[in-house]
Amino acid sequence: MMYDVAVVGAGPAGATLARLVGKDYRVLVIDRRPFAGDYADSPAKTKCCGGLLAPDAQQMLAELGMGVPKDILVGPQLFTVRTIDLQSRLERYYQRFYLNLDRERFDRWLVSLIPDRVDFLPEATFKGYSLDGGRCNLRFSQGGKEYSESVKVLIGADGANSRVRRLVFPDSAMPKKYIAIQEWFQIEQAMPYFTTIFDSEVTDFYSWTIPKEGCLLVGSALSLSKDAAERFETLKGKLGTLGIRLGKCVKREGAPILRPQRLGDIRVGRGSIALLGEAAGMISPSSAEGLSYAFKSSLHCAQSLLDGPEGFLERYDRAINPMRVNILLKNLKSPFMYNPRLRKAAMWSGLLSMEVYKAGV
Q: Work out whether 301 is an interface residue with ligand FAD (CB under 6 A).
A: no
* Binding mask of the shown chain, residues 54 to 73, with x at each position contacting ligand FAD by CB under 6 A: x--x----------------
Burial (CB < 10 A; 0-12, 13-18, 19+), residue 23, is exposed
The residues, any chain, with a CB within 8 Å of residue 3's CB and separated by 6 or more, are 25, 26, 27, 28, 119, 149, 150, 151, 152
**What are residue 43's phi and psi, to 5 degrees?**
-55, -30
Which is it for strands 3-8 and 27-30: parallel, antiparallel or unpaired?
parallel
Judged by CB under 6 A, the residue of 3, 7, 11, 330 near ligand FAD is: 11
Q: Work out whether 174 is an interface residue with ligand FAD (CB under 6 A).
A: no
Q: Work out whether 158 is an interface residue with ligand FAD (CB under 6 A).
A: yes
Of 32 and 92, nearer to ligand FAD (C-beta) is 32
Q: Work out whether 285 is an interface residue with ligand FAD (CB under 6 A).
A: no
Cα distance between residue 165 and residue 44, in whole Å: 21
Burial (CB < 10 A; 0-12, 13-18, 19+), residue 111, is buried
Judged by CB under 6 A, the residue of 82, 163, 212, 330 near ligand FAD is: 163
Looking at 30-38, 146-154, 185-193, 319-327, which segment touches ligand FAD (CB under 6 A)? 30-38
Cα distance between residue 280 and residue 175, in whole Å: 10
Q: Work out whether 206 is an interface residue with ligand FAD (CB under 6 A).
A: no
CB of 10 to ligand FAD, least distance (A): 5
| Binding positions for ligand FAD, rule: CB under 6 A | 8-14, 30-33, 47-52, 54, 57, 125-126, 157-159, 163, 180, 182, 219, 255, 257, 277-279, 283, 288-291, 294
